[in-house]
A and B are shown apart, each in its own frame.
Chain A
C-alpha cells in the first residue's frame, strides 16, 4: 500500500510539472498524435496508386495498420519512456533510481509521465474502430474476444520490444538509434500485410521475431480470410501467446541488464 502511494506521488509530481508548462504541453500533444496520423496517411496515399497491396484491399490493410497503431500507441504511452534509459546510464542518473526502495522499471516509467501521448492512443483506437466499421466482419464470440485481445497483445508485445531494446544500453551505452530498428521499425513492418516482404526478411521479422502475430494474423482471423502464406486460421489467436513469450524474454533481459549495471564511476 505504501509502495502504491509512493508511485502515486511520483506520478502526481510529474503531472503537476507537465501542466505548469501549458503551451509546451499542447505543442507536444499535437506533435505526438501527428506521427501516428502520418503513418495512417501514408497507407492512404499508397492506396491512391493501386487498389491492392500484397493482395489486400484498403479496408483490410487499414485493419492491420489500425491494430498496430492502437497497440503501439498504448505501449509507447505506458513504457515508451524506457527509451531514455541510455541517457540515465550514460549520466549515472540511474544510481538515484536504484537506491530508492522501489522497483527500478516503474520508477523510470514514472520519471516522465507522458500525458502528451494520450491523444495518440485515442487516435490509434479510432483508426481501429473505423477499420472494423469498413470491414464489417461476421461477429462470432471468438472474434469479439479477439478484437479486444489483439490490440492489447500488440501493446504488450511492442512494450516488451521497447524494454528489450532499451536494455541494450546496459551493455552498449552508445547503442543510439539501434533500438528504433525494432520498435519503430517493427511498428512500420506490422502496419502492412506481411505478404509484401521478401521471404528472408519476412522470415526474420514476422516469424523469428514474431511481428506477424501482433496484427497480420489477428486481422486475417477477424476477416475470416485464409492466410496466403499458409498458416492455419487459429494463428490469429496466438497473439497473446506471442506477447507473453516476448514479455518473458523482456523481463529476463531487464533483470540481467540491471544486475550488469555498473555506475559511470565519476
Chain B
C-alpha cells in the first residue's frame, strides 16, 4: 500500500492547472460541436438577421442623407453601414436574445447534476458559451457581413490595430454578455421562474446595447452614463465602434479596457451569486 492514501483521485495527472485548462478547452470544443448540429436553425436565423440588416441600414443611411454634414452622431455612411452589418452578425455571437438554459435547469432541479461535476458551474457554462460564440463567429457573423459588403460600401480598417482589437473586443463582449445572462438566469435560484428578469434583459440589451440605433445618437451625458454605469454598451456598441473606427486610437483602446473591467466585475459577481445560491439551493423534484 506504499504511496497510496485516502485522498480523492485527481482526474488530471499533469497537475491541477494544466488539468483545468484542458478541461476548459474540451468544454469549449463541445459547446462548438453542439451548435454545429443546429444547421437549419442557423440558416433560418442568418436569413432573418440579413433582412433586418437591410431595413436598419437603409433607415440609418436615409438619416445620414438628410443631415447637413452627412455624419449623424459622427459616423459617415460607410461607418454606418459597417455598424449595421457587423451588428447583425455579432447579434447572435454575443447572444443578445434570450438564454434560459440555466434558469430552466434550476427550475427543474437538473442543476444538481452540474453541481456534482468537478468543474465549477460558472466556468463550465462560460466554456460552453465561448464554444457557441466561436461557432457563431463562423456561421452567423460571416454571412451578414458578406451580404452587407456586396450591397453597401463598408469601411475598410485604416489602422493596423483595428482588426486584432475588434476580435479582442468581441471576445470580451461575449464574456460580458455571458456574465449578464448568467446573473439574470441565476435569479431563478431565488425566484424559481426567471422569465420576468430574462424578458427585461432582452428588452434592455437590445436598446441599450446599441442594436436599434447607435447610442451616440443619444445626448452625450446619457451615452456616457450608460457606458460607465451599465455593461450593456460593452456588449454590442463597443465592438462595433471599434470596427467602424468611430473614435481615435486612444479612445478605441480605452473603450475596450472599460469592456474588460465590466467582464471581470460581472464574472466576479456571478461567482459570488453562485456561491450564495449553492448555500441555499433546495433541489426541486420528487
Contacts and interface: CB of A to CB of B under 8 A. Distances in A.
Of A35, A49, A175, most buried by chain B (CB within 10 Å of CB) is A49
Contacts of A197: 54-55, 58
B40 A185 contact: no
A234 interface: no
Contacts of B61: 196
Contacts of A52: 66
B123 interface: no
A41 interface: yes
Given A38-B203, A45-B213, A177-B45, A201 B52 contact: no
Nearest to B206: A38
Nearest to A188: B55
B195 A24 contact: yes
Interface in A52-107: 52-55
A140 interface: no
A31 B58 contact: no
A46 B48 contact: no
A55 to B, nearest CB: 8
Given A50-B72, A201-B58, A41 B44 contact: no
Contacts of A51: 66
B48 A174 contact: no
A34 interface: yes
Interface residues on B, range: 35 or more
A63 B196 CA distance: 32
A23 interface: yes
B212 interface: yes
Contact of B59 (A28, A31, A48, A53): A53
B84 to A, nearest CB: 12
B48 A31 contact: no
Given A24-B193, A198-B58, A178 B48 contact: yes
A195 B195 CA distance: 39
B195 A42 contact: no
Contact of A31 (B52, B66, B200, B213): B200
Contacts of A178: 44-45, 47-48
Interface residues on A, range: 35 or more
Contacts, number: 104
B196 A24 contact: yes
Contact of B203 (A35, A176, A185): A35
Contacts of B196: 23-24, 27-28, 31
B282 interface: no
Contact of A53 (B40, B66, B151, B218): B66
B63 A50 contact: yes
B232 to A, nearest CB: 13
Nearest to A187: B55
A176 B45 contact: yes
Nearest to A183: B48
A181 interface: yes
Contact of A174 (B41, B58, B151, B212): B41
B63 to A, nearest CB: 5
21 contacts: A34-B203, A49-B217, A52-B66, A53-B59, A53-B63, A175-B40, A176-B41, A177-B41, A177-B44, A180-B48, A181-B47, A184-B52, A185-B51, A185-B52, A188-B56, A192-B59, A196-B62, A197-B58, A198-B58, A198-B151, A201-B54
**Top 8 A-B residue pairs of the complex, sorted by shortest distance between their CB atoms:** A27-B196, A196-B62, A49-B72, A174-B40, A178-B44, A31-B199, A176-B41, A176-B44
Given A49-B72, A50-B63, A176-B44, 8 more contacts: A23-B196, A31-B203, A34-B203, A42-B212, A50-B67, A172-B40, A177-B45, A185-B48
